[in-house]
Chain A
Amino acid sequence: MASRTASKDIITLRGSAAIVSEFFGYAANSILYNRGVYPEESFVKVKKYGLPMLLTQDEGVKSFIANLTAQLSEWLEAGKLQRIVLVIMSKATNEVMERWNFSIETDGEVVEKGVSREKSDKEIMREIQAIMRQIASSITYLPCLDETCVFDVLAYTDKDVAVPFTWVESDPKLIDNPQMVKLHSFDTKIHKVDTLVSYKNDEWDEQ
């Protein structure tokens, strides 16, 4: 966030993109930890957003997320990212178990005219903190992931985006008849991020 201008309360497009992509990096780590996708001992605790956050030490996952957030901030600065989805799938069957959906609305005026917006850092942090708390507490209602799972990240971009060499087009990996829980949102006044988790219906409820 070095590019954010001197006054704390003025937010540029670049700064906003940095906040959102960084948020996504921490959120992905938190989801992987809380949902037990990677072993607990491969995470270390850091302080972020006024909360203890866990970051993976697994080199493969670390570099995956780093490459991802770099690409995301590029798209965010261009205003072409509509949505990021973190998908958790069964390793054995590839069945989609959970979709963590981060919808992004970009203020078109900022992208076109290069104006900046105002919002205090503290307030943004408070909003992100609320989302992180909800992610951590999601284990209370999400079904248990009994089997070994893998994850993937989907980026929904505008149609006119050139596909980078390292990316491929994917299907949306939807869940049939999912349960959905809306989490908090945060807004940098340039990017508004809505969070929603959808997950496989727990069959036990029907019985």
Chain B
Amino acid sequence: MNVPNCFCACDFPCGQPDRFIPNRSAMDFDYAHYMLTEGRKREENSAVSSSPLSDAYRKRLAEALGMNRSRILAFRNKPQTPEFSSSIPRDIPTKPNRYIPQAPERTLDAPDLVDDFYLNLLDWGRGNVLAIALGNTVYLWDATNGSDSELVTVDDESGPVTSVSWAPDGRHIAVGLNNSEVQLWDSASNRQLRTMKGGHRLRVGSLAWSNHILTTGGMDCQIVNNDVRVRSHIVETYRGHEQEVCALKWSHSGQQLASGGNDNLLHIWNRSMASSNAPTQWLHRLEEHTSAVKALAWCPFQSNLLASGGGGGDRTIKFWNAHTGACLNSVDTGSEVCALLWNEHERELLSADGFPQNQLTLWKYPSMVKMAELTGHTSRVLFMAQSPDGCTVASAAANETLRFWNVFGVPKSAKPAPKANPEPFANVVELDMILSTLSNDQSSVAQKITRLLMSSFFRFKASIQEACNRCVILIKRSVMAGARFCEFAALEGASLESLLELVRVLFTLVLSLENLDADHIEGLLLAASHRCPTLQECS
């Protein structure tokens, strides 16, 4: 067993052989020798003679030589087997392929849509209302309920409308006109807020919002930043285009503005470099397109990435690093690119094409493999807009139709969104504060507060049933305040009929004992008792 350990090369001290020379002690030569010689002999001999005597002899010999000189032991409990649940690529769950409907979900007529490549006549606001300009008129189409309304019709001297754009709040809308004016409208009240003049000399074909800044691009080659809050609204001017500005898009950070023009130029402007006194110098002037740059889209998942599409003579989609101005990729689409939209949920890009196919094409980014081609329009697709949930795309084509496609995913089933109904006066003071004053302060104050609360909790317009329910809610929220509210409600003009009903409702509720604790019952009774004398007087 103890074979000396010096079989190794002499350069090395004993016991430290070079790593590739087998170590004799570890290889167990005694055993090997036995197996080679005795083991074989046994096999050979076994056929000839197998007397019990020689067997016994061999056994003793084997023991002596160490066949069984050690015990080999292993744990009864084996280590648990490895689980490669997450680390092996083959186990990665693959995303199921998304079904892309080939047919439009809805088609609407868009009569008198101006077939002009350089205008921007379609926008879908954050309030889920689609604005489209048809001739001299701007129409609003509410996507939630499908109702439409007319926002404004301008006269023939100022019209037609050349651009529309929703403000980020989804309520205000900017309307660019052929006579170089820009109107600002409040869609909720259907009221014009202001007209901005003097920024341009020719028609305003493109608009873009960045908070309170409305950027307008005109046929006079100018780009103007308007602060809509102030009287002298022109705050910055960008000069660099040599022909009509037909596309404007602010980056998601609001720091960079991309502008495309009929002069085949794409400019990127930096907001922080802008100043009011001098026409601002561009950050990048990109001259690679060989036709008008109408389609622009900032990537939602990679800031600095801008996609741009060229017109009929160019037919490419190009990708830019807006930071460095480097062109990252250029893809020939085979037709003019009128509009581009990114999918907000997946790495995909949708392009609106003109002649010859008049289709929408869905591209995988960054491979730019065509994923789907949506046909249906019979004439070039001029404008595209994306719904606020990012799923539906509206496209308007020169054949005067407006089509809706669920190309970016099926909208979530219209769940009854718990629309956080703001509490009355929430922007001034918390309701609990008001109620605490109502229950504790002197009568004159309480009466004034009741007057304030009447419209919210005991509305004349609403049905009596609704009014009573609201009143009960108020009592449940604050017992004392509710009781006092009922006390003063008559003085503040609640009708006799409604008060009678209220008393009836209160008593019914108390008798039903449904989900009521002692405080609530007390409050309801107190409120009812406040009412009874009044009713007595009246009757």
- Chain A positions near chain B (C-beta within 8 angstroms): 37-41, 58, 60-61, 64-65, 67-68, 82-83, 91, 101, 103, 105, 134, 148-159, 161, 163, 166-172, 180-185, 187, 192, 194, 196
Decide: A168 and B71 in contact? CB cutoff 8 A.
no
Q: Which residue of B69, B76, B78 is within 8 Å of A159 (Cβ)?
A: B69
Say yes or no for B420: interface residue by CB 8 A criterion.
no
Within 8 A of A (CB), among B52-107: 68-84, 86-87
Across the interface, which residues of B come within 8 angstroms of A58, CB to CB?
Answer: 80, 82
Bound-complex Cα distance A171 to B27 (A): 18
Decide: A163 and B78 in contact? CB cutoff 8 A.
no
Contact A180-B27, Cβ < 8 Å, known A39-B86, A150-B78, A185-B15: yes
Q: Which residue of B17, B20, B70 is within 8 Å of A83 (Cβ)?
A: B70
Decide: A156 and B79 in contact? CB cutoff 8 A.
no
Say yes or no for B412: interface residue by CB 8 A criterion.
no
Q: Which residue of A65, A105, A161, A194 is within 8 Å of B71 (Cβ)?
A: A161
15 new A-B contacts at CB < 8 Å, known A170-B72, A184-B19: A64-B80, A68-B75, A150-B81, A152-B75, A154-B72, A154-B73, A155-B74, A157-B70, A159-B69, A159-B71, A161-B73, A166-B77, A169-B71, A185-B23, A196-B23
Decide: B86 and A41 in contact? CB cutoff 8 A.
yes
Closest to A85 in B: B72
Q: Which of B21, B79, B83 has the most CB of A within 10 A?
A: B79
Q: How far is the CB of A85 from chain B (nearest CB, A)?
A: 8
Decide: B16 and A168 in contact? CB cutoff 8 A.
no
Q: Would you give the 0/1 interface string for B165-187, flagging 1 where the beta carbon is closer than 8 Å to chain A? A: 00000000000000000000000
Tally of A-B residue pairs with Cβ under 8 A? 115
Bound-complex Cα distance A180 to B84 (A): 29
Across the interface, which residues of B come within 8 angstroms of A150, CB to CB?
Answer: 78-79, 81-82
Contact A38-B70, Cβ < 8 Å, known A134-B19, A187-B15: no
Bound-complex Cα distance A68 to B79 (A): 11
Closest 3 CB pairs of A and B: A60-B80, A170-B74, A64-B79
Across the interface, which residues of A come within 8 angstroms of B73, CB to CB?
Answer: 154-157, 161, 163, 167-170
Q: How far is the CB of B17 from chain A (nearest CB, A)?
A: 7
Closest to A141 in B: B20
Across the interface, which residues of A come within 8 angstroms of B211, CB to CB?
Answer: none
Decide: A64 and B71 in contact? CB cutoff 8 A.
no
Sample of 5 A–B contacts (CB below 8 Å): A41-B87, A161-B73, A168-B75, A180-B27, A183-B19
- Chain B positions near chain A (C-beta within 8 angstroms): 15-17, 19-23, 25-27, 68-84, 86-87
Determine the main DSSP class of A at the interface with B. strand
Decide: A168 and B76 in contact? CB cutoff 8 A.
yes
Q: How far is the CB of A199 from chain B (nearest CB, A)?
A: 14
Q: How far is the CB of B127 from chain A (nearest CB, A)?
A: 46
Decide: A39 and B82 in contact? CB cutoff 8 A.
yes
Across the interface, which residues of A come within 8 angstroms of B75, CB to CB?
Answer: 64, 67-68, 152-153, 166-168
Contact A154-B74, Cβ < 8 Å, known A101-B26, A182-B22: yes
Bound-complex Cα distance A152 to B72 (A): 12
Decide: A40 and B87 in contact? CB cutoff 8 A.
yes
Bound-complex Cα distance A164 to B372 (A): 69
Closest to B83 in A: A39
Q: Which residue of A158, A163, A194 is within 8 Å of B25 (Cβ)?
A: A194
Q: Which residue of A64, A134, A151, A180 is within 8 Å of B22 (Cβ)?
A: A180
Across the interface, which residues of A come within 8 angstroms of B22, CB to CB?
Answer: 180, 182, 196
Decide: A152 and B76 in contact? CB cutoff 8 A.
no
Across the interface, which residues of B come within 8 angstroms of A172, CB to CB?
Answer: 72
Across the interface, which residues of B come within 8 angstroms of A91, CB to CB?
Answer: 81
Decide: A194 and B80 in contact? CB cutoff 8 A.
no
Across the interface, which residues of A come within 8 angstroms of B74, CB to CB?
Answer: 152-155, 167-170
Closest to B69 in A: A159
Across the interface, which residues of B come within 8 angstroms of A39, CB to CB?
Answer: 82-84, 86-87
Across the interface, which residues of A come within 8 angstroms of B78, CB to CB?
Answer: 150, 152
Across the interface, which residues of A come within 8 angstroms of B86, CB to CB?
Answer: 39, 41
Q: How far is the CB of B92 from chain A (nearest CB, A)?
A: 14
Bound-complex Cα distance A149 to B72 (A): 22
Across the interface, which residues of A come within 8 angstroms of B84, CB to CB?
Answer: 39, 148
Bound-complex Cα distance A93 to B23 (A): 30
